[in-house]
């Protein structure tokens, strides 16, 4: 007989009181409905590791939607249900809890989304990716806090190992390849020996996964504290080249990611910035390939395009003689993450200085006069209004004029010159 481990005290210590109370009540209600309730997945892993994680995932042996309806009456919040998947989400105050009906999954073919049918907790845990993510804690009153560890997850946590549950795991769902690298690098674990062999064997299966799902995995990686570690490992194992053969997870990238974080701290760098740095070495054509494969959103695709288009202008930006208006002209209209990517990527101190001047000052400079002001000065409507505003903008940028009055005089001067000519 294996010893029973009870984590009630740990739950009490590590989770906020509201969530602890919620789980106590939820367990009672579930049992009163003749159901069993469990806390599962990442939060169990993180409880054992002593890491903060307040994303409660609950599994119900029975019907999650029935339980959720009952609980929302007690908790007074919002409920969202997906009857097809028999799942529900409860949200109240700043909390959000997912409830799912225990299910088993089968894969019709590699990479396909699984067919799902109601099942027991055992089958629900067996469908999961890694042993460290396949543990549960019972929340029924009589067994509250009891750890259910059918696949040796606790042992693997202790030995710092990421291990799949069965030999077909990566074939069934090759996104687990990326997930495995993410957990390994986040937790400073190792892929267990056989898992590593199977991962390598199944790398070609990544081609069975839709670009949308791979993009989601990348987004998760960019949400990590140090995504460069995952990308370095992905290059080492030949996973990154499945994304695009020209991509590299090298020291250059690590350095640039680090600088990106320093620049955007306390927030994480936007995904577009990370992606633009990753794709910085690609040609326009290769980048287009990546954009369509990952089905990137319009703004992020634009950031990638802008970033490469700006890269081609870095030589011009490295000219120490550039006037502010010329710097503005070279950088205006590009998305901010694309400009920042070039600031980080450029080798030229002069170009970097010019980009910084633009980001910190020039991009905010506008003429004081508007089109209407020009009309009021007696200038006839037409293309010359735009032209004059552009000239004023330039004069402002280059410090040739500093006040609204000065701008008026400048315009008048231009007009008399024109009269003379």
Binding stretches for ligand CTP (CB under 6 A): 41-42, 55, 57, 128-129, 133-134, 173, 175-176, 179
The tokens for 2 are 């294996």
Q: Which of 94, 38, 84 is nearest to 61 (CA)?
A: 38
Contact criterion met (CB below 8 Å) for 27 and 57: no
Smallest separation (angstroms) from ligand CTP to the CB of 383? 55
Q: Closest CB to ligand CTP among 49 and 375?
A: 49
Q: How far is Cα of residue 306 from the mean position of the Cα atoms in its chain? A: 20
Q: Closest CB to ligand CTP among 175 and 195?
A: 175
Contact criterion met (CB below 8 Å) for 178 and 214: yes
Q: Which of 113, 158, 151, 155 is nearest to 134 (CA)?
A: 151
Q: Closest CB to ligand CTP among 134 and 339?
A: 134
Q: Sign of the CA dihedral 279, 283, 289, 295? A: positive
Smallest separation (angstroms) from ligand CTP to the CB of 279? 24
Q: Closest CB to ligand CTP among 239 and 395?
A: 239
Smallest separation (angstroms) from ligand CTP to the CB of 43? 7
Q: Closest CB to ligand CTP among 52 and 238?
A: 52
Q: Closest CB to ligand CTP among 155 and 409?
A: 155
Smallest separation (angstroms) from ligand CTP to the CB of 186? 8
Smallest separation (angstroms) from ligand CTP to the CB of 135? 9
Q: Closest CB to ligand CTP among 151 and 358?
A: 151
Smallest separation (angstroms) from ligand CTP to the CB of 208? 13
Smallest separation (angstroms) from ligand CTP to the CB of 270? 19
């Amino acid at each position: 007989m294996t010893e029973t481990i009870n984590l009630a005290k740990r739950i009490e210590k590590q989770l906020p009181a509201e969530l602890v109370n919620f789980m106590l009540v939820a367990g009672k209600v579930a049992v009163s409905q003749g159901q069993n309730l469990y806390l599962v997945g990442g939060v169990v892993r993180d409880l054992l590791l002593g890491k903060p994680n307040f994303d409660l995932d609950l599994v119900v042996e029975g019907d999650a939607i029935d339980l959720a309806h009952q609980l929302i009456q007690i908790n007074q919040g919002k409920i969202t249900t997906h009857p097809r998947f028999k799942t529900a989400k409860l949200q109240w105050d700043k909390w959000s809890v997912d409830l799912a009906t225990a299910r088993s999954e089968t894969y019709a073919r590699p990479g396909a989304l699984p067919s799902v049918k109601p099942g027991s907790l055992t089958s629900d845990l067996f469908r999961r990716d890694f042993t460290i993510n396949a543990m549960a804690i019972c929340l029924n009153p009589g067994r509250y806090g009891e750890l259910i560890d059918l696949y040796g997850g606790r042992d693997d946590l202790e030995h710092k190992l990421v291990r799949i549950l069965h030999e077909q795991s990566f074939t069934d769902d090759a996104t687990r390849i990326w997930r495995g690298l993410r957990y390994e690098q986040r937790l400073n674990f190792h892929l267990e020996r056989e898992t590593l062999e199977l991962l390598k064997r199944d790398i070609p299966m990544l081609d069975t996964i839709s670009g949308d799902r791979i993009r989601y995995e990348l987004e998760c990686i960019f949400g990590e504290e140090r995504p460069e570690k995952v990308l370095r490992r992905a290059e080492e194992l030949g996973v990154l080249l499945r994304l695009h053969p020209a991509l590299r997870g090298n020291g250059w990238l690590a350095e640039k990611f680090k600088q990106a974080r320093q620049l955007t701290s306390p927030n994480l760098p936007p995904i577009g910035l990370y992606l633009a740095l990753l794709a910085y070495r690609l040609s326009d054509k290769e980048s287009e390939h990546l954009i369509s494969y990952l089905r990137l959103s319009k703004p992020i695709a634009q950031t990638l395009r802008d970033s490469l288009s700006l890269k081609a202008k870095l030589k011009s930006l490295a000219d120490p003689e550039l006037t502010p208006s010329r710097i503005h002209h070279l950088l205006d209209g590009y998305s901010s993450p694309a400009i920042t990517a070039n600031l980080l990527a450029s080798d030229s101190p002069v170009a970097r200085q010019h980009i910084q001047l633009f980001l910190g000052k020039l991009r905010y400079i506008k003429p004081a006069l508007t089109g209407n002001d020009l009309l009021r000065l007696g200038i006839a409507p037409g293309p010359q209004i735009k032209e004059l505003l552009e000239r004023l903008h330039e004069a402002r940028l280059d410090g040739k004029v500093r006040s609204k009055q000065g701008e008026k005089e400048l315009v008048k001067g231009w007009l008399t010159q024109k009269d003379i000519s």
